[in-house]
Structure 1
Amino acid sequence: MEADVRLDRPVASRRGWRAAMLALARNPVGSIYGTILADSVLAVEARYQLLLRDLIYAELVTVVVYWLAHVYAEFLGAPPTVNRRAGLRRLADTMAHEWSLVTASFVPLLAVLLAAAAGASVHTAALAGMWTGVAALVLWGEIAGRHSGRGAWTSLAYGLVSGMFGIALVLLRALLH
């Protein structure tokens, strides 16, 4: 039996910290993309944005546009539907499933806001967001591994590989600044 990696099942049966993470992101694969996108925006935009609101605006607009483009591409790539109602339902389902791409970007963004509230500069707050994104990537990778039926060690390896993408972005930021 093939494992369903879409996480369409309700999360009520899940327990502990994983339940909270899965409630935030029903689709850990989309969450990986969303977190990498958020960290990428922070890496680039922190160089140009002097105001926190501009950094946040750039982050949110970029993530939402990327989400819409991703949904559009998924929708175009699917087989045609028999009627308009079925097509709209498929579009709504795709939008809901891929929404984790957006919600995952809130994790680094929350760290940015908390760091700024604590008095950090925009650049330092962006770095705090990026490191939070690295930690989130480890969790998303581990959750994706577990959900696909992998064992604890393999899932942890998936998480560490996911985290390496975030570290690569932190290094990219260091090279840009």
Structure 2
Amino acid sequence: MLKAMSETSPAQEGILRFHRALRPGFGTESAVYGTILVSGLIAVASTKDETSVAVLITVAVTVVVFWGAHVFAGVLARFGDHEHRESGMGLRAAFRASLRESLGLLTSSAVPALILLAGTTRIIPDGIANYVALWSGVVILGFLGYVAFLRRRSPLVIRILGTLATASFGLVFVILKALVH
């Protein structure tokens, strides 16, 4: 019985393979933070019927600034860390490590940005693009929560609860946008 609970189905293995392929830039702590940040930016920037191009510019500029600050902070922390300094971590190594760890903050905006871009090109109407981009954060956070609990081999009920809990961070911004409108 215990062995059966720890085994994964082919569909679950497919989800895990998909996540492993995305993990370097997407399934990280900084990607979760970036997804929440982007959701908040979309919720705030898309008030008063802003066009998707205005929202896209706001998101892109803010994410790049936060990403740069994250890289800078990582370099500074690693370079000044006694453990790393004694083991020979120089400025370049600290910079590379910081870039690698903060990549998720930058890549987490890709899906919402593509949706907003579809709004700017009129593939999707502006208002709809803004809402779909906002909802994409909910879906992404839910996916990351599901995968986290799947990797722990949690039972299905726990995976679903974990999905709902992580998706709720994005849902807060959907509610915020609805209240502001």
Q: CA deviation at 1:85?
A: 5.7
What residue identity is the alignment partner of 1:60?
A: A
Q: CA deviation at 1:143?
A: 2.2
Whole-Å Cα distance in 2 between the matches of residues 29 and 120 of structure 1?
32
Aligned length: 162
Pairs within 5 Å for 1:2-17: 16-17=14-15
Pairs within 5 Å for 1:71-150: 71-78=71-78, 79-80=81-82, 81-82=85-86, 86-114=90-118, 117-121=122-126, 123-147=127-151, 149-150=152-153
* Structure 2 residues without counterparts, runs of 5 or longer: 1-11
Q: CA deviation at 1:18?
A: 4.1
SS in structure 2 opposite 1:118?
Answer: coil
Whole-Å Cα distance in 1 between the matches of residues 49 and 18 of structure 2?
32
* Residues 1:151 and 2:149 are matched in the alignment: no
SS in structure 2 opposite 1:151?
Answer: coil
CA contact (8 A) 2:53 2:116 kept: no
What residue identity is the alignment partner of 2:41?
A: V
Structure with greater Cα Rg: 2
* Structure 1 residues without counterparts, runs of 5 or longer: 1-13
CA contact (8 A) 2:35 2:108 kept: yes
Q: Deviations over 1:121-146 (max 9, x none)?
A: 2x321111111110111011222334
What residue identity is the alignment partner of 2:69?
A: A
Q: CA deviation at 1:70?
A: 2.1
Structure 1 residues 65 and 77, CA gap change in structure 2 (3 angstroms) = same
Name the residue aligned to 1:24.
22
From the two aligned structures, give the one with the greater helix fraction.
Answer: 2
TM-score, length of structure 2 as denominator length: 0.74
Whole-Å Cα distance in 2 between the matches of residues 141 and 93 of structure 1?
25
Whole-Å Cα distance in 2 between the matches of residues 62 and 151 of structure 1?
36
What residue identity is the alignment partner of 2:56?
A: I
Q: CA deviation at 1:29?
A: 2.2
Whole-Å Cα distance in 1 between the matches of residues 73 and 99 of structure 2?
11
Structure 1 residues 45 and 39, CA gap change in structure 2 (3 angstroms) = same
Q: CA deviation at 1:82?
A: 4.0
TM-score, length of structure 1 as denominator length: 0.76
Q: CA deviation at 1:104?
A: 1.5
Give % identity: 27
CA contact (8 A) 1:42 1:59 kept: yes
